[in-house]
Every structure is written in structure tokens, then in C-alpha cells.
């Protein structure tokens, strides 16, 4: 680890992130394996269609628990927009789609990350609710159960689309982002470029943690 790196995430945050991400990926793969006949061969990896459905259903419960922890942990920072700075960032598309000389400053999570979080949170809740009704349809009308299949498919399309956008942004779109969820540490240059407001807030409040130094006591480190 390079001295001076800034701590971006804690161990529990990373565990929740990866539990949510991997369970979501598992659900997408098994779900497609059940939905499309051309992908039914995926079931052979799980020992048959019956086993794959069981994995999908219980994987959904694991996803639900991970989602609950994620919402509780990140809602305050990533679930609420801060105006007018977030609106200005959106107008400039964060500098990702075209050149912007001065990208509007944002806090720990930019509006793009907030939109991704809200999409996963809201559509994730919808998928958990619809999945439970599809799993235990007794007592519900046939029409309602049928609509749950539609809602489930819609949630899949939205979350899967955002997943690829998220993957692009943490790799090619914003190099240096991935270590935040692998090691928990990012470079000061990366934070200053992508989340300058957050850096200033940590410096002013004395909550900035740098590798080899611990927390700052206020002011710049």
C-alpha cells in the first residue's frame, strides 16, 4: 500500500457491496437460464433446471438481505440528491460524455452513482416483492401473479443495464475507482479529481484517514 492513500470504504461496506453484486449477478444468470430457451443449457451448471430454480430463489433471499444492509448503510449519502450542485453535475454529465473544463464539485457520491444506487434499491425491492409472490402465488389472483412476472422482468432489464454502466465507470470511465471496493483505499489525486467536495469535507471535519497517518485533526494533511 502506498503511503498517503485515502481510506474510502470500510471492511463491512465492501462485504455488503460484494454480497449484493455477486448475488445480483447470480440471479441474472440463473434468471436468464430459466427465461430464455436458448440459455436453458445454463441449468447444467447447477445439475438441472430444478436445482437452478432453487439456487435462484434462495439467492434472491440472500440478495434481499444484502439489499437491506445496503439501503440502511448508504441511503443517507447515496439515496438523496443535493441541489443545486447535483443538478449542475447532471447538466455537465460529470464530464464523462463530453469535455468539461470545470466539472461541478460533488461529495462522496456523484449523481450518477446516486441514480445507480436508487435504481438498484427501488427496483431491487420490486424484484424481491414480485419474486416472493411468484414463489408463493397461493392466495393471489392469477392476474396479479402475471403482473409480477412483468415487474420482475422490468427490474432485471433496469438493474442489468445499470450494472454495465457501473462496470464501465469504475474501470474505463473513471480509472482508479475500483480499489475503493477491493482494498478500501484510493489515491488522493483520484479523490481530488472525482470527489473534491468530499475531500474538503473530510479535511475540515478531521475525518480524513490516510494510509500511514490515521485521521487528520482538521485542516489539510
The answer to whether residue 4 is domain-embedded is no
How many helices (H) and strands (E) are present in the chain, helices listed first? 8, 4
CATH for 61: 1.20.950.20
Kindly state whether residues 35 and 131 are assigned to the same domain.
Answer: yes
Phi, psi of 98 (to 5 degrees): -155, 165
Residue 56 is assigned to a structural domain of this protein: yes
The pLDDT score that the predictor gives to residue 214 is 59
Question: Is 140 found in the same domain as 74?
Answer: yes
pLDDT in tens, 175-210: 788 888 999 999 998 888 888 889 998 999 888 988
Residues 220 and 128 occupy one common structural domain: no
165 CB neighbour count, 10 Å cutoff? 15
Are 177 and 202 contained in the same domain? Answer: no
In this structure, the answer to whether residues 61 and 141 fall within a common structural domain is yes
pTM: 0.86
Tell me the Ramachandran region of residue 127: left when phi exceeds 0, alpha when psi lies from -120 to 50, beta otherwise. alpha
User: Which structural domain, as residue segments, surrounds residue 125?
Assistant: 9-94+101-186
Over residues 72-99, the pLDDT tens digits come to 999 988 988 888 888 888 888 777 777 7
Q: Is pLDDT of 173 > 80?
A: no
Judge if 217 and 179 occupy the same domain.
no
- HSE-CB of 21 using CA atoms within 13 angstroms: 14
Distance in angstroms (rounded) separating the CA atoms of residues 213 and 205: 16
Give yes or no: residues 193 and 211 share one domain.
yes
Look at the chain and report how many structural domains it folds into. 2
Q: Which residues pair with 214 in a beta bridge?
A: 210
- The answer on 118 and 75 residing in a single domain is yes
Contact 191, 184 (CB under 8 A): no
Rounded CA separation 104/89 (Å): 5
195: cell is: 470527489
Amino acid at each position: 500500500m502506498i503511503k498517503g492513500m485515502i481510506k474510502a470504504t470500510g471492511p463491512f461496506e465492501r462485504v455488503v457491496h460484494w454480497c449484493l453484486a455477486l448475488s445480483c449477478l447470480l440471479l441474472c444468470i440463473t434468471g436468464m437460464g430459466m427465461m430464455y430457451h436458448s440459455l436453458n443449457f445454463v441449468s447444467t451448471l447447477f445439475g438441472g433446471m430444478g436445482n437452478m430454480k432453487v439456487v435462484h430463489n434462495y439467492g434472491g433471499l440472500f440478495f434481499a438481505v444484502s439489499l437491506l444492509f445496503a439501503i440502511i448503510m448508504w441511503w443517507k449519502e447515496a439515496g438523496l440528491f443535493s441541489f443545486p450542485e447535483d443538478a449542475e453535475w447532471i447538466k455537465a454529465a460529470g464530464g464523462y460524455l463530453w469535455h468539461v473544463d470545470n466539472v461541478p464539485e460533488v461529495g462522496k457520491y456523484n449523481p450518477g452513482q446516486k441514480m445507480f444506487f436508487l435504481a438498484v434499491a427501488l427496483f431491487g425491492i420490486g424484484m424481491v416483492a414480485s419474486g416472493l409472490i411468484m414463489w408463493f402465488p397461493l392466495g393471489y389472483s392469477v392476474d396479479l401473479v402475471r403482473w409480477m412476472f412483468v415487474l420482475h422482468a422490468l427490474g432485471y432489464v433496469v438493474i442489468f443495464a445499470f450494472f454495465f454502466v457501473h462496470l464501465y465507470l469504475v474501470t474505463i470511465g473513471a480509472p482508479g475507482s475500483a480499489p475503493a471496493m477491493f482494498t478500501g483505499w484510493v489515491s488522493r489525486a483520484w479523490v481530488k479529481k472525482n470527489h473534491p467536495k468530499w475531500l474538503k469535507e473530510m479535511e475540515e471535519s478531521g475525518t480524513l484517514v490516510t494510509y500511514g497517518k490515521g485521521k487528520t485533526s482538521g485542516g489539510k494533511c
